[in-house]
Structure 1
Amino acid sequence: MASEDRSPELYASTIFGLAIATVTVALRCYVRLFMLKVFSWEDYLAVITMIIFGVYGACVLMAIQYGAGRHILDVPAEWLPHALKMRWLGEWIYVVTSILVKITVAVLLLRICSKPWHKSVTYATLAVVVVWNTVYAFLAAFQCFPVQHFWERLGDPNGGQCLNEDIITGSTYAAAAVNCLADWILGLLPIALVWNLELNRRTKASVAGILALGIIASAATIVRIPFVWQLTHDSDFLYVFVDFTTWSTTELAMGLAASSIATLRPLFKRVLGGSSGNVSHKGRAPTGGPGQQPIAPRTGSPGLRAW
């Protein structure tokens, strides 16, 4: 039998997601600032995305304070508008954060792309994500008219109107499908990026694996899809909405963490004392004979060498 109060579960998943994202972004900043001594605009974007994700987490935590995770009959009536307002704001911030996470990953890939078709696929994927999620963000923000009717409807059901629930659920399913497809494309593309590089097999596998961590976020997106119906569940929305919120938080946290972990290879190499990723040319060592200059590694991608 399900617990009558799921707020501790929602609280724990939110704090865990915020912690994972915060730690990985902080490590990214350390690597970029103190190890590589470079902080590009995509790193600023990652920090901004983390801040916005923090605002999303604050909305969820405030919603918990107003009864999220509990049955509606167990919550004081005056708390309900506040809980709905936090839910409305959280839905909108979720979409914005999702867009920024995809942009952060795409910019990293564009920096290391070596072939025109790599960039074309990345730009096309990013364009679809941004366009559709912008439309979805508009629907999330203005699903009721006037906007405040979203959280005031329980006290004044005739004071406004909201979009048909089929539009809300349908657009959410479509957004989930687009985001999931984008995660897989941006996650599998790194394999193509390193496939023909003259790296040794171990280094090639590690580079592709680290860059492809974005696929992890798609798992949360897929798990989240069966709970989309909770968006339009009105009879006990505080209690029922927990699953959808939990997996939305997990999706954002894993996506943000993956985009930052992909920049931590210098830290992994220092901590683990791994190889430097020298290139192997048909079984020959990457250095010349006695008295000769070392043979420079040829990765075919200046961006990958820098990364």
Structure 2
Amino acid sequence: MSQAIAALVYAAQEARDTATTTAAASPATTSTLPPVSDDYPYPETGLQQIGFFILFFFPALALIVVGLRVYSRVSTKQFGWDDGLICFAMAESIAETGASYMGMRYGFIGIHVYDIPLVADNRLGSLWNYIIQLLYNPILALVKTSVLMFLLRLSGQKRRIRFALIGLNVFNLTLMVAIFVTVIFQCQPINYFWEKAGRNPPTEGKCIDMNAFYVSTASLTILTDVLALAMPFWIFLGLKMPTRVKMALLAVFALGGM
């Protein structure tokens, strides 16, 4: 959800930059562009309000579910590392939701490009977009790590399964660090990411190909998702339990994968 918002902010920023650059390039309008200011009536739209509702609804639902999980684990004295990780991921998700709200607002998502005030500072939307990107992949990786550590509880003493879970977890965490570092230094200098959205962008600076980056990271993330989803099937198929119970457990994990 937030990765989509980041992409939307990026696309909206590009459209806004194009419109502003075109206007600024005209000698007739260069002197008439108003100075950047944060004192302007915000162009509210129903489309953006719907986006805000969707943005807050699902994290609120997730917070309720995580709260119930924590209550259950604490009351039964079974709180483990997997529960702690999911709580940390939830805290990051709340922070990311706030950043996504700011990104949508200052990136003017859901608002027509020609309704955006000319005095608005383009750099704010890009800055919040940068923060969203920093938070997004660590959340995914922590949730996956929590799931894999929970599966380690279920795997018992089966060495092959345990090695597979540990190996996948190491790959998942390594990928998280690699993506996080790449996101930090995607532009050189770092502040070029949001400064290039301003009216007078720096003449020196460069960024990586973001389209290629999104596709490659999404592909690797989906791969780890599929592998993590396959692990419960491997574990449960070898357990000695009634077939009905086994199928019910597999159905629950399949539902979680959806």
Give the TM-score taking structure 1 as reference length.
0.63
| C-alpha displacement of 1:129 | 2.2
| C-alpha displacement of 1:213 | 4.1
Structure 2 residue 96 is matched with structure 1 residue 56: yes
Of 54, 59, 72, the match for 1:31: 72
Of 228, 231, 243, the match for 1:186: 228
* Inter-partner Cα distance in structure 2 for 1:160 and 1:23: 47
* Inter-partner Cα distance in structure 2 for 1:55 and 1:71: 27
Structure 2 residue 133 is matched with structure 1 residue 133: no
| C-alpha displacement of 1:94 | 0.2
Tell me the secondary structure at the aligned position of residue 78 of structure 1: coil
**5 Å matches for 1:128-277?**
128-155=171-198, 156-165=200-209, 168-216=210-258
Deviations 1:207-257 (A, max 9, x none): 2232344422xxxxxxxxxxxxxxxxxxxxxxxxxxxxxxxxxxxxxxxxx
- Equivalences, count: 210
| C-alpha displacement of 1:78 | 2.5
Deviations 1:40-82 (A, max 9, x none): 1221111111000110100111122322332333223424221
* Inter-partner Cα distance in structure 1 for 2:110 and 2:126: 12
**2:25 aligned partner:** none
* Inter-partner Cα distance in structure 2 for 1:196 and 1:146: 53
| C-alpha displacement of 1:128 | 2.2
Tell me the secondary structure at the aligned position of residue 178 of structure 2: helix
Letter in 2 for 1:60: S
* Inter-partner Cα distance in structure 1 for 2:53 and 2:90: 18
**5 Å matches for 1:21-100?**
21-34=62-75, 36-66=76-106, 67-76=108-117, 77-100=119-142
- Alpha carbons of 1:154 and 1:183: their partners in 2 closer, same or farther (altered >3 Å)? closer
| C-alpha displacement of 1:152 | 1.7
* Inter-partner Cα distance in structure 1 for 2:224 and 2:111: 34
**1:110 aligned partner:** 152
Percent identity, aligned pairs only, is: 23
Letter in 1 for 2:136: Y
- Alpha carbons of 1:48 and 1:106: their partners in 2 closer, same or farther (altered >3 Å)? same
- Alpha carbons of 1:71 and 1:138: their partners in 2 closer, same or farther (altered >3 Å)? farther
* Inter-partner Cα distance in structure 1 for 2:188 and 2:144: 30
Which consecutive residues of structure 1, in runs of 5 or more, have no partner in the other structure? 217-307
- Alpha carbons of 1:144 and 1:170: their partners in 2 closer, same or farther (altered >3 Å)? same
**2:52 aligned partner:** 11
Structure 2 residue 64 is matched with structure 1 residue 20: no
Kept in 2: contact 1:149–1:159 (CA 8 A) = no
Tell me the secondary structure at the aligned position of residue 147 of structure 1: coil
Which consecutive residues of structure 2, in runs of 5 or more, have no partner in the other structure? 1-44
Letter in 1 for 2:188: F
- Alpha carbons of 1:94 and 1:160: their partners in 2 closer, same or farther (altered >3 Å)? farther
Letter in 1 for 2:216: A
Give the TM-score taking structure 2 as reference length.
0.74
Letter in 2 for 1:151: W
Moved more, 144-153 or 64-73: 64-73
Kept in 2: contact 1:91–1:140 (CA 8 A) = yes
* Inter-partner Cα distance in structure 2 for 1:6 and 1:133: 33
* Inter-partner Cα distance in structure 1 for 2:53 and 2:213: 29
* Inter-partner Cα distance in structure 1 for 2:167 and 2:219: 16
Letter in 1 for 2:153: R
Kept in 2: contact 1:129–1:182 (CA 8 A) = yes
Kept in 2: contact 1:190–1:212 (CA 8 A) = no
